[in-house]
């Protein structure tokens, strides 16, 4: 009888350990990676402006539906500005006035849907700063 009890105890320990290993964590939601450009100066119709762009990069079974790029002066003097790209289009923002020697900060966000039923997954990018 002692021998049978030992075998059952050992079997229970082995099965208990197996159950713990089988309980894996759920997979992380699939999403996309995004590239945020540093602020830079561009001339639009004779006016210097600061711009930044956020572009969808690689996606893992997810579909990008929105990108948003924002720029603000680093000293927070005045409101920032954001622009949206719909679908897989990049979000590109144009900010004025451009003040030479000022530091500008760009941030971004990209949103995608994944799964069934679809779930919204957003990823923040930045900040990226540049003195222009």
94-109 pLDDT, tens per residue? 999 899 999 999 999 9
**β-pairing verdict for 32-36 and 81-86:** unpaired
Confidence of residue 29 (pLDDT cuts 50, 70, 90): low
Task: Show the domains of the chain with their CATH numbers.
Answer: 32-131 (2.60.40)
**Average pLDDT score, the chain:** 82
Q: What is the pLDDT of residues 1-13, one digit of tens each?
A: 444 444 444 434 3
pLDDT 10s digits, 64-104? 999 999 999 988 777 899 999 999 899 999 999 899 999 99
Q: Which DSSP helix (H) or strand (E) runs through 7?
A: helix 2-22
Report, as an integer, the average pLDDT of 28-57: 91
Any idea which residue has 């680093």 for tokens?
74
Element (DSSP H or E) covering residue 92 = strand 91-95
pLDDT at 38 over 60: yes
Report the alpha-carbon distance of residue 92 to residue 9 in Å, rounded: 65
Give the separation between CA 31 and CA 97, rounded to whole angstroms: 35
- pTM recorded for the entire structure: 0.74
Distance CA 90, CA 82 (A): 12
């Amino acid at each position: 009888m002692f021998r049978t009890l030992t075998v059952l105890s050992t079997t229970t320990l082995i099965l208990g350990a197996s159950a713990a290993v089988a309980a894996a964590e759920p997979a992380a939601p699939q999403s996309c990676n995004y590239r945020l450009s540093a602020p830079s100066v561009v001339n639009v119709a004779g006016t210097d402006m600061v711009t930044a762009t956020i572009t969808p990069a690689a996606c893992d079974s997810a579909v990008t539906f929105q990108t948003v790029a924002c720029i603000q002066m680093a000293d927070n003097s005045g409101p920032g500005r954001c622009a949206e790209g719909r679908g897989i289009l990049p979000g590109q923002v144009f900010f004025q006035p451009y003040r030479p020697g000022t530091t500008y900060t760009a941030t971004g966000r990209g949103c995608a849907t994944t799964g069934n039923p679809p779930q919204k997954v957003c990823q923040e990018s930045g900040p990226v700063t540049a003195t222009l």
